[in-house]
Chain A
Amino acid sequence: MLKGFTRNFKPLEILSEGELEAIHRGTLSVLRKTGVRFESKKALKLFEKNGCQVDYTDNRVRFPEGLVEECLRKCPSSFRVKARNPKNDMIWGGNTVYFQALSGTRSVDLDTWEPKTPTRKEYYDAITCLDALENVHIIPWYTPWFGFKNIPSVMAMPEGLAARLRNSSKFTCSNYSMGCEVFNIQMAKAVGAELRSSMAASPPLTFYEDAVENAFRTVEAGFILLITSGSVYGGTSPATIAGSLISGNAEIMAGIVLAQLIKPGTRIIVQDFSFPQNMRSGSPGFGAIEISLHQVAFNQIWRRYKIPIDGGVSYPGSKKIDYQAGYEKAIIALIGALSGTNTIWIQGAMYGELAFHPVLAIIDDDMVGMIGRFLRGILVNDETMALDLIDEVGPIPGYYLNKEHTRKWWKLEQFIPRVADRLTYPEWLKGGKKDCLSLAKERYQKILSTHKVDPPLTQSQEEEIERILKEARKYYRKKGLISNAEWEAYMEDLKSPDYPYA
């Protein structure tokens, strides 16, 4: 099993008991009075059968408080998730903290900082890198990128999942679009892995049919369901953080009720994926501090419901790997970890949801190591307080450098980053003035030349993946979702002599 990190102290909290209760009551009242719109006949019927008030003219469902609270209680407070290799299994919930890569639609040029579409080889290489990084515990959906050159967009998700299963044995996830979850679930089952998939609200207070359909399929497959709101406060939820929490939590709770009605005891993780609205450009305010305030309050509420939490989505607003990106990512991830997020998104993400780079994933991995070391806290006992040693060393000219205690403890206490510049000025000048970015580029090359996925897919697993992909291609081609031009470029890409391994 992957240990990840353990938070050895109480989480950071910013709300009082009374404030928590006010948000809880407010959420239940929205569910009861305002209700949530479900564009799914199947869901409406299930809700009606279980005592919700369903209005079929506007597809609005109003929830009795008792049902909501009962369904919250049915969610397990912690659970194991299975990866393709059992050494990468995890336990989500409680005080465990895991980190996951965070994708972007495209790659970037590290000189001009402009976005560019990656190739299949770059896609596969980036997964190899994430598989090698010790603090990447999850390689989720869309990762590393939403797709790559020459594949039709409708095939991006099945091809992406296949790439992750081929190049990594870590836990992965897949999402829904045009029914592709049917193929994704088959692929995961073919290699003996579980998947996390999502049910995303369309705020305010709406779920569309594709999200609901995916929830049914994921729950019925026995996989883990992530339920998320994804509102932008000031746009699709109130501009106040408190109001946005109520509106978002009402959406998530409606999703939980559905999942628990489909199959009681379903493993659920709730996600905080909300941003303030940048009022000047209308885009989400990536990297803003309000994200962290929202996160801490969200965590405090959901810890009360004893449901594992996903979040700390560390998208910077900066377009470059620079100072701003550094502080933006550090604040979001660190506050997420301190306040009880169980699975945090960080490695590799650049601006918004629009860019990812594996070299940044390497730099982020150091930051994650630091956060993990902090979560472990300080050991206080006779040996660490070292009173006898302090007495023995005494005042100046006494010192600690050559003591056995120092030789033992510095290694236990210090976390050493892999690609941070830790040199003195003379060493740095002599070493060519390298920064973390150039050190990370070097590590990237080293990983690509040495890292091997453990274990690779077996011959029969590989055949099964290829068979499912073929089926998906045929299905979408027949449905007319792949144009002739797309099909030709796609077939050309598949002809590469090295396919499927890029």
Chain B
Amino acid sequence: MAKGFMRRFPPLKILTDEQVEAIHRGTLDVLQQTGVLVYNERALNVFKKAGCDVNFETKRVKFPPGLVEECLRKCPSSFRVKARNPKDDLLIGQDNVLFFNFPGTDTVDLDTWEPRSPTKKEHIDLIRVLDALPNVHFLNAYPYFGFSGGVPEVMKEIEGVALRIRNSSKVTIAIANNDIDMFTIRMAKAVGSEIFANPNTSSPLTCYTDQVNACFLAAEYDLPSMIWDGATSGGTAPASLAGAVVLSNAELMPYIVLLQLLKPGARIAVANLVLPQNMTNGAPAFGEIGVSLHNVAFNQVWREYGVPTVSSSCGPTSSKRIDFQLGYQKTMPTLLSALSGSSILQLYSSIYGEITAHPVQAILDDDIAGMIGRFLEGLEVSDESLAIDLINEVGPIPGHYLGKKHTRKWWKKEQFVPRAADRLTYPEWAKTGKKSCIDYARERMEEILSTHKVDPPLTQSQEEEIEKILKEAREYYRKKGMITDAEWESYKKIIEK
């Protein structure tokens, strides 16, 4: 099983019990009074049967509070997810803390800092780096949105899942847009892995059909689900943080209810990508402190429900470069989420918003994950670590601790040593070419790319099965008219290569 980090102290809280209760009551009120739009006939019928107030014409569903609470109670507070290699199985929940990556549509040029589409090799390189880093416990969808060349839009992520399965043994996520998860779920199954179903909410209070279908697939294949909410507070959610928590929670509940109605005990984690709105340009305000206030409150409420949480808004920032701003904008939300009880932190590889990602960044983030992980483990307080006899033996100056056996044993247990950080003194640093963390991360990336091998690679028959499913998907979307003739021509050339 993948080794996560264990938080050994009570989580950080910023709400009182009464405030948590008020947010819970508010959420139930919105579900009962306002309800949500559900664009999916099958789901409307399931909700109707379970006692919801369903208007089939307007598609509005209103939920009785008792049903919502009952379904919340059915969610397991911790669960296991199976990878293709058992060493990568996941334990989600309890006080175990896991990390994964946040994607970008593009890569970025590390000299000009301008975004561009990655090549297929660069796409694979990022997957391989994420596969090699021990604290990346599973892989998100993408990590880039496709690669340069002629892959049609609808096939980009299907091809992406195939690349991830071939180049990594870690669990990944099946996004639901255009029902592509019909194919990607089968790919995971073909190699003996589970994959997260991934219904996304649409704010405010709307469920689109492909996202709802993901729940049916999750039930059919008995898969864990990660439900994502990405409201923008001030745009698609109230500008007040408490209101944004109420709204995003109300948006997550219909999926929880549906998943538990379809398969009681279904494994669910809820992911929080709620961001404030940048009021000067209308973009989401990535990296700002409102992100963390929302995460911490969200974690506190969902811990009451016993449903594991995912902090997705840790990854994206508003900086365009790997610089000081990026450093604090990624670290603060990740740290605050980890302290406040997130089970999963979406940190690795992202730079600006949902636009850019880079393997060098993933390697840099690995040090942050290691540091935060070390912090979560806390202090050991025992006779040996208190070292009162040693303090007495060493006494005042000229006593010192450097040569002691206790020091030789304990410094390694206490200290986390980062891999890509500059830890030199000024003279050492000047002598070795004034390297910064980016230089060290580039070196580590080269090392990983030249040595890392996926463990195990796909067998011949698994590879054939993946290829077969890809073929089916291409035909399906071609038939549906989602791949044009012109697209098909250039796509064929890539396939034949």
Q: Across the interface, do A363 and B430 meet the contact criterion of CB distance under 8 Å? A: no
Residue of B nearest to A428 (CB): B320
Please, how many angstroms separate the alpha-carbon atoms of A239 and B406 in the complex? 7
What is the 8 Å Cβ interface bit string for chain B, positions 378-395, against chain A (1 contact, 0 not)? 111110111110111011
Total of A-B residue pairs, C-beta within 8 Å = 416
Complex-state Cα separation, A161 to B279, whole angstroms:
43
Q: Residue-by-residue, is B310-354 near A (CB-CB < 8 Å gives 1, otherwise 0)? A: 000000001111111111111110011001000000000000100
What size tier do the contact residues of chain A reach?
35 or more
A203 contact set on B, CB distance < 8 A: 397
**CB–CB B206/A395 < 8 A:** yes
Q: Of the listed stretches A75-83, A315-323, A465-473, name the one at the interface; the rest are far from the partner chain.
A: A315-323
Question: Contact between B14 and A377 (Cβ–Cβ < 8 Å)?
Answer: yes
Could you say which residues of chain B place their CB within 8 Å of the CB of A422? 278, 280-281, 285, 318
Q: How many residues of B contact A (CB 8 A)?
A: 127
Determine the chain B residues whose CB is within 8 A of the CB of A374 once the complex forms.
Answer: 289, 292-293, 332, 336
- Identity of the chain A residue whose Cβ is nearest the Cβ of B22 in the assembled complex: A380
CA distance A328 to B183 in the complex (A): 43
Cβ-based interface call for A293 (8 A): yes
Q: Is B495 an interface residue (CB 8 A)?
A: no
Q: Please tell me if A285 contacts chain B, counting CB pairs below 8 Å.
A: yes
The answer to the question of A502 belonging to the interface, with a C-beta cut-off of 8 Å to chain B, is: no
Minimum C-beta distance from A49 to chain B (A):
21
Complex interface residues of chain A between 368 and 425 (CB less than 8 A to chain B) = 370-371, 373-374, 377-381, 383-387, 389-391, 393-396, 398-401, 403, 405-406, 408-410, 412-415, 417, 420-425
Judging by beta carbons under 8 Å apart, are A378 and B391 in contact?
A: no
Q: Are the CB atoms of A395 and B37 closer together than 8 Å? A: yes
Give the residue name and chain of the A residue nearest to B30 (CB).
A390
Report if A385-B22 is in contact (Cβ < 8 Å); known contacts: A239-B407, A318-B436. yes
Indicate if A117 sits at the interface (CB-CB under 8 A). no
Do residues B421 and A204 form an inter-chain contact, with CB atoms below 8 A?
A: no
Q: Are B438 and A322 interface neighbours, CB within 8 A?
A: yes
Cβ-closest chain B residue relative to A280: B423
| Complex partner residue of B425 from A281, A395, A400, CB under 8 angstroms | A281
A22-B381, A399-B236 known; A331-B371 Cβ under 8 A: yes
A37 touches B379 (CB 8 A): no
Bound together, the chains give a CA A203 to CA B395 distance in angstroms of 10
Q: Bound complex: CA of A217 vs CA of B30, how far in Å? A: 65
Min Cβ gap B420→A in Å is: 8
CB < 8 Å: which of B9, B297, B409 contacts A13?
Answer: B9
Q: How far is the CA of A374 from the CA of B292 in the complex (A)?
A: 8
In residues 257-307 of chain A, which contact B (Cβ within 8 Å)? 276-281, 283, 285, 287-290, 292-293, 297
CA gap between A115 and B292 in the complex, in Å = 36
Asked if A23 is at the interface (CB within 8 A of a chain B CB), the reply is yes
Shortest 4 CB-CB distances between A and B: which pairs?
A: A326-B327, A243-B387, A386-B243, A37-B396
A-B contact pairs, 23 of them (CB 8 A): A14-B379, A19-B379, A22-B381, A26-B388, A36-B396, A205-B399, A239-B404, A246-B391, A281-B424, A281-B428, A288-B416, A318-B437, A323-B327, A331-B372, A378-B242, A383-B240, A385-B22, A385-B242, A387-B26, A394-B205, A409-B240, A420-B329, A435-B323
Binding site for B on A (CB under 8 A): 8-10, 12-15, 19, 22-23, 26, 29-30, 33-37, 60, 112-115, 202-206, 233-243, 246-247, 250, 276-281, 283, 285, 287-290, 292-293, 297, 317-331, 334-335, 338, 351, 354, 360, 363, 367, 370-371, 373-374, 377-381, 383-387, 389-391, 393-396, 398-401, 403, 405-406, 408-410, 412-415, 417, 420-425, 427-429, 433, 435-437
